[in-house]
Amino acid sequence: MNKNKFYFPDNYQEVIDNSIIVKDFEIFLSLAEQKKLELSKNGILSNKSSVLLNESVNRKIFIEAKRPTFKSYPNIIALFILYRKCGFYEVVNQGKKVLLKTNADLLKQWKEFSETEKYFCLFSNIFSGYDFEAINESGNSILFIYLLEYLKKANISAEHYDYFSGTILDKTNIIFFELFGLLKLKDSLSKDKKKWEFQEISLYNYTASICDSIYSNLQDSIHSEEIKNNFAYNKLAKLLADKLELIIPELKKRLVFNTKRLKGAYVFKIQYAKVWRKIKIDSTALVDDLCVAIIDAFNFDMDHMYELSYKTKFGDKIEYTGFPSGHISDYTNPPFTIDHKIEELELVKNQKLEFLFDFGDNWEFDILLEEIIESEKNVKTELIDQKGEAPEQYPQYWD
């Protein structure tokens, strides 16, 4: 297959008609817009919001668990991942609650899309590849690709069902295909009736050919030069959207991200256990400058590698690696802390980050961006507040 081509049946409306993804995604958007979806402390949907959403969507999961959680519902996990990958994700604090707040500009654009444009917007964001970082799981797309290998050969039978439904991540993989109208599932329950399962998979006459094209596209795009040195799934989504536009004339619109790099002073609160420090630093400072300031604020010696990580609005986890000497190791992949300014991270107020110092002792710090003071004037890096005595970097141990 030509790697610049993507196959989709001429009668793509049949696929869209067999899908439920746009209807259910718009229910998710509506509840988020109404600020009815609360996040847990882990940044995923609360159990209560997960139940509400499952009761509201067309593709429901029926289980008999007394206290179902977010990870009881692969249909809801799928919608949440899509919501993040499409860039709609924003949050707002309401007292002690953290609620989803849909990006107003993207929502306005979305409402102007045709049904076909909505479907393929979502399609390109999922079937270009994804992982489960958005729900704090390290599982990747390996089993997703393995599932594709069976589907593209139309070679999936009952003996494979257990393998593709072993974990909630596996179940999310396969329910994506159903939501997009690429297969049909017949539901069942686990023996204790607390977990959703399926007892039958039915394929459409177009399933194998579309899955073959998805599979080939994934193999090509993950090795492309455009993303090799700065991997992010939203770049893969753009590459797939480019291919879809060549074969589907109706695709005229895409979501346009009006990113704004906020200049001024960034105030970070860095916490280790009950000890914390607040640092004010200029937006034009390097990520490495922030890392050095953290190490200095806790009176540590700069003698080990370190890493600053965070999740983008797309749910991608980005990790910046730093070196005490400033010399980049040939055995470490970018991005590096010395190559990027803080403003390039496109952080927002209340965003959480993580800082790891010393890959042997693993000193882990939680970071919260408490405030962005917009200004055109540069500010110097300074420690502006603190609480508690810093831990000893190398405590003495006695027999």
Distance between CA atoms of residues 101 and 83, nearest Å:
11
Residue 165, pLDDT score = 75
Q: Which of 214, 43, 28 is nearest to 125 (CA)?
A: 214
> Which of 212, 247, 282 marks a domain boundary?
247
Is 3 within the bounds of a domain? no
256 assigned to some structural domain: no
Blockwise average pLDDT, block size 10, the chain, 399 residues: 74 96 98 96 95 98 95 97 93 90 94 97 93 82 78 76 80 95 93 91 93 88 53 76 93 87 93 97 96 97 94 87 80 87 91 95 96 91 96 75
Looking at the structure, do residues 225 and 293 belong to the same domain, yes or no? no
pLDDT at residue 241, as a whole number? 93
Query: Which tokens belong to 342?
Result: 């803080």
Tell me, yes or no, whether 241 and 268 share the same domain: no
Shared domain for 319 and 359, answered yes or no, is yes
Q: Domain for residue 396, yes or no? A: no
For 129, residues 6+ apart whose C-beta sits below 8 A from its C-beta are: 141, 144, 218, 221, 222, 233, 236
Residue 69 lies in a domain: yes
Tokens of 261: 């790099």
Residue 99 structural domain:
12-247
Residue 327's domain is classified under what CATH number? 3.10.290.30
On whether both 287 and 230 belong to a single domain, the answer is no
On whether residue 395 sits in a domain, the answer given is: no
Domain end position, chosen among 190, 219, 247:
247
**Both 58 and 193 in a single domain?**
yes
* Strand ranges across the sheet with 275-282: 317-322, 306-311, 352-357, 363-374, 264-272, 275-282, 382-387
Identify the domain boundary among 185, 216, 247: 247
Q: Is 287 exposed, middle or buried (0-12, 13-18, 19+ CB in 10 A)?
A: buried
Do 187 and 230 lie in a common domain? yes
Whole-angstrom Cα distance, residue 173 to residue 161?
A: 13
114 alpha carbon, distance to own chain's centre: 25
Asked whether residue 142 is domain-assigned, the answer is yes
Check whether residue 286 and residue 228 sit in a common domain: no
Question: What is the per-residue pLDDT across 22-40, written as a single tens digit (0 to 9) for each?
Answer: 999 999 999 999 999 999 9
Residue-wise pLDDT tens digits, 211-256 = 999 998 888 766 555 554 444 567 788 889 999 999 999 999 999 9
Q: Would residue 1 count as lying in a domain?
A: no
Same domain? 204 vs 304:
no
- In DSSP notation, 249-268 reads TT-------------EEEEE
In a shared domain, residues 355 and 315: yes
The whole-angstrom separation of Cα 239 and Cα 220 is 10
Q: What is the pLDDT of residue 130?
A: 86
Give a yes or no: residue 43 inside a domain: yes
DSSP state of 61: -
Kindly state whether residues 243 and 302 are assigned to the same domain. no
Residues 184 and 150 both lie in one domain: yes
Instruction: Specify the pLDDT at position 228.
Output: 46
Q: Residue 1 has what pLDDT?
A: 47
Number of independent structural domains in the chain: 2
Do 132 and 189 fall within a single domain?
A: yes
